[in-house]
Structure 1
Amino acid sequence: MMSDLLVAPAYTETVTASSTESLLDVLTPPRYTPSPPAPDYSSEPKRDELTLQEARRPISLPSGSFVTTTGPLTLEIAHQVDGASTPTLHPRGRLSGTLAIDMRDRSSITAITLTLNGRMAMEAGDSGSDVVVVLKDKHTLWEEEDAPSFIPLDIAVPSTFVDKDGKTQPLPPSCDFACDPMVVAAPISVQVTYSLIIVVERSRRHGLFSQTKSLSTAFDFVPRTRPDRGIIPNPSFFSTMKTSPEEWHQSVSEVPTRASSTVQPLKSHLFLPAGKVYWIGAAVPFHLSITGSAPSLRTLFPPEGEGSTRSSSAQVNVKILRQISVEVRKQRAIRNVVIGRATLHSVPPPAAARGGQLDWDGVLTRSELRMDASSTVCGFNVRSVVVKDFVVLEIIPANPTTSPFMPHQNPNFVRFTTEPYSDNYGPDQPS
């Protein structure tokens, strides 16, 4: 069989010269012109330079610690927010800290173990409920005689689990999507909880009672994500659309009319910051334009002062819709929850479009999302549970039953992240 490795043939150079001088002339290297000195190095690009690629720096960790005590056991977990009631761990991160054992007779200790546990409880309407163990990761901290009073911890935090079909899935974040008590329909809910337990086993005295000691605490499991681009700092749509159109994503949809109507349909143009991946705490600007014939616009949005009132005009809403999809026993149930609404402000259209266009500006902020200030739960997909977020444009005629226009919705899938975009860190990949 011919080898894949090709061996270069031996090479011999023969030089023939009539004199020593001619031989030296052959062997002397040719003259050369020295290269110009290398330019001064700078970590920041100059005005005429551009950064083509930048290595992503790791997300910084908090400098505080979480401490909990049960009996003679004290657990300290590093890299936590000071004062937090529950520690937080991240996939592919480290559980770092110290276990302190305040026992007089530590020679009786036979084993010390730490186990990370996770469970996902689901309700899917008429399909019933189910509980899935997503994490059970056991580590032996000590199994020799004379256990020390302090044991350092440095444990890798898992990032995946294997579902009932044998497929590898990312571990879901800690969350509690409870049922809405005001909804009469069958319940759809998801609760993902995590905990760790430390067990100290001791030899029995006189064979009567177990000498086992344990400490347990819940922890939040938070996959950390960051947008791959920032939001344009100047929120003025018309100015940035001219200078930086690539900073906006346009979603065009038709506002339909009834088949029996003679009114022409309208077009809605919803502009969102490009990328459609935003930090959950960011102020997300958007712009809405509705275009079409002047008669159609006046039908849907009668001008004030022409015998019409604000109540006779169509409602225009932009909201954040969270869709929770749960599968139990091969049956999937879906629940939609509005987690925020934006306030729209009418703005004058460009002079060239007046008469055939109406425009609004708006901003989606964390406060308008009506989410808990400490919430870091973003969308995720583990097959049996899928959580997605949408920016939904909704146009409802003043009289839906008699209006020539039909109610209209235009959903746009977006993704929220737990961390803000930063030029210092560069883009990040979803966990």
Structure 2
Amino acid sequence: MDCPPEYPVASSSTLTLPLNLPSYSPSGASPDYVAEPSEGERRLDFVARPHVTERPHGTFTKKIRKITVSLHDQEEGVDIPTYARNAIVRGQLQLDDAENILSVSVKLEGRQDVSSSEGGTSIRTIFSETHALWKRGDCAACPSKLPFYIPFPSTYKDRSGSHAVPPSFSAEFRGTSSLVCKNTYSLVAVIKKPRLGSWKQHKTVILPMRYHPRSRPFLPIAPTLHPFFSSVKAAPDEWRQVCSIMESRDKSIPSIDCHLFIPAVQIYSVSDKISVHLQLRAPPRSLRAFLNPAVPSSQPKLSLSLRSTRSSTLSAKSWSTSSASSSSAHTRSPPMLLSALPFSSPSRATNPTVRVFLMRQISTNVNGQRAWRNNVIGEGELWPLQHPSLDSEDCMHEDEQSALDWEGEVKCDEDVSIGGFVAGRIMVKDFIVIQLSPPNPKTSPLLEHQHTHPIRLVTDPYLEAYDQPSNNY
């Protein structure tokens, strides 16, 4: 039998390593950083940072009887002290009568009060934090001035976990079907003295406070979205298309396709002017039915012109939509498409209603009963673009699609300062709404139409105007 060949086995003594390692030299210094592009350079991207405003230097002072509360870092002349997210409540308690005191404390407290015709009343504590400033035994006598330094809570806990503290908020809908929702915050100072017989000698000062956490979109609204047809070709990603259908009760009149275009980010500041474009597409006979009232053929035809006006012919500023009176209706969730929007339909109307507006929906759940109310928080302004002729003599093919277009913008009312939130038993959501109504809706072949699209409103714009970089593109 042949034996397998033997192979030499290398031992560690036979391994050799190179003795001459490559030489290393320290890398050069990193280039200097500059915020603005130098000659021959260009900015590839820019991410905005929230504008950091200078902390106010004013002092808010409130005196009740012999107790004075001073809160620092406030704007001059404010009616109520205001704090942002992660703020510090810094101030001083001054006692005109500091004798015979057992203890002095301050308490930060947040409450949520909800009351509705459907579910009754609910009062919940969001948070309550007590801080002792002085008690007998700390020193011989209570000082007349007691400073305090308290972080304002940014989160709270309940059975479902930890949540962000909601902003101060108040909404009241009075009437037969009422709803009241409030998030309130206060600083409570308590001065305890020895009993006088069976009477407690406690002095309490309650100072209301406003909590206003700030937020902003993660992307900006493009600065030049009008004219629409130019911008949608150059930057189609800057627009979001919202589609809906205006139905017809007459089979001979096709329904109208409604296309609302809004800035693609869909998160807007309460101070932003939101550009919108509305297009109605349908055969000419459908658009004629929308523009003209239904009249007998013996009467003269009305003009097809549209005036550039406010987007709404409605006089109602707000309305209420509550759950039905039956018990089964109370278990429903608030609708995304609301069918109870009011329309203005005077019997002699000669112009259609074309309306785009912002709506806030406030919903609650108290004792298992849901209720919601809707409030208009911003009206849009629309102006019609040049429309094609819709006269039957000028339309070669009645089944071909024609279009009516409007451009405009919508903005929150001046008294809107916070965005939507969900906290405890209160849910606040915002929508952009399109509302269409033909002249004489009762006799028109077209049905009245409304469509809601959810958006998010925040407190601050993406970029303050004075923070805009000077780009060298």
- For normalisation by structure 1, the TM-score amounts to 0.79
Q: 1:140 to 1:160 in 2, by over 3 A?
A: same
Where 1:296 maps in the other structure, the secondary structure is: helix
How many residues of Structure 1 are paired with residues of Structure 2 in the alignment?
391
> Does structure 1 residue 234 correspond to structure 2 residue 228?
no
> Does structure 1 residue 157 correspond to structure 2 residue 152?
yes
Write the letter of the residue equivalent to 1:99.
L
Q: 1:269 to 1:98 in 2, by over 3 A?
A: same
CA distance in 1, matches of 2:67, 2:14: 81
> Does structure 1 residue 335 correspond to structure 2 residue 373?
yes
> Does structure 1 residue 319 correspond to structure 2 residue 357?
yes
Tell me by how many angstroms 1:390 deviates. Answer: 0.9
Q: Contact 1:300 / 1:313 at 8 angstroms: preserved in 2?
A: no
User: Which residue of 253, 256, 269 maps to 1:263?
Assistant: 253
Q: Contact 2:112 / 2:181 at 8 angstroms: preserved in 1?
A: yes
Tell me by how many angstroms 1:58 deviates. Answer: 5.2
Could you tell me which residue of structure 1 aligns to residue 42 of structure 2?
A: 48
Q: Contact 1:396 / 1:406 at 8 angstroms: preserved in 2?
A: yes
Could you tell me which residue of structure 1 aligns to residue 312 of structure 2?
A: none
Could you tell me which residue of structure 2 aligns to residue 5 of structure 1?
A: none
Write the letter of the residue equivalent to 1:126.
E
Could you tell me which residue of structure 2 aligns to residue 246 of structure 1?
A: 237
1:267-304 deviation per Cα after TM superposition (whole angstroms, max 9, x unaligned): 1111112222211122222111112222222221249x
Tell me by how many angstroms 1:332 deviates. Answer: 0.2
Tell me by how many angstroms 1:177 deviates. Answer: 1.1
Q: Contact 2:379 / 2:411 at 8 angstroms: preserved in 1?
A: no
Q: 1:13 to 1:195 in 2, by over 3 A?
A: farther
CA distance in 1, matches of 2:54, 2:300: 59
Write the letter of the residue equivalent to 1:283.
K
Where 2:384 maps in the other structure, the secondary structure is: strand
Q: 1:408 to 1:208 in 2, by over 3 A?
A: closer
RMSD value over aligned CA atoms? 3.5
1:72-122 deviation per Cα after TM superposition (whole angstroms, max 9, x unaligned): 4322212222101111123432212223334464xx443221112222222
CA distance in 1, matches of 2:170, 2:193: 37
CA distance in 2, matches of 1:14, 1:216: 88
CA distance in 1, matches of 2:23, 2:83: 64
Q: 1:128 to 1:54 in 2, by over 3 A?
A: closer
CA distance in 2, matches of 1:51, 1:147: 59
Q: Contact 2:86 / 2:152 at 8 angstroms: preserved in 1?
A: yes
Q: 1:153 to 1:243 in 2, by over 3 A?
A: farther
Structure 1 unaligned blocks of 5 or more: 1-11, 18-22, 427-431
Could you tell me which residue of structure 2 aligns to residue 78 of structure 1?
A: 72
- For normalisation by structure 2, the TM-score amounts to 0.72
Q: 1:349 to 1:195 in 2, by over 3 A?
A: same
State percent identity of aligned pairs. Answer: 30
1:126-146 deviation per Cα after TM superposition (whole angstroms, max 9, x unaligned): 322222222322111223224
Could you tell me which residue of structure 1 aligns to residue 411 of structure 2?
A: 365
Could you tell me which residue of structure 1 aligns to residue 471 of structure 2?
A: none
Could you tell me which residue of structure 1 aligns to residue 434 of structure 2?
A: 393
CA distance in 2, matches of 1:322, 1:57: 27
Q: Contact 2:419 / 2:456 at 8 angstroms: preserved in 1?
A: yes
Tell me by how many angstroms 1:392 deviates. Answer: 0.4
Could you tell me which residue of structure 1 aligns to residue 417 of structure 2?
A: 376
Structure 2 unaligned blocks of 5 or more: 1-11, 294-298, 307-348, 390-399, 469-473
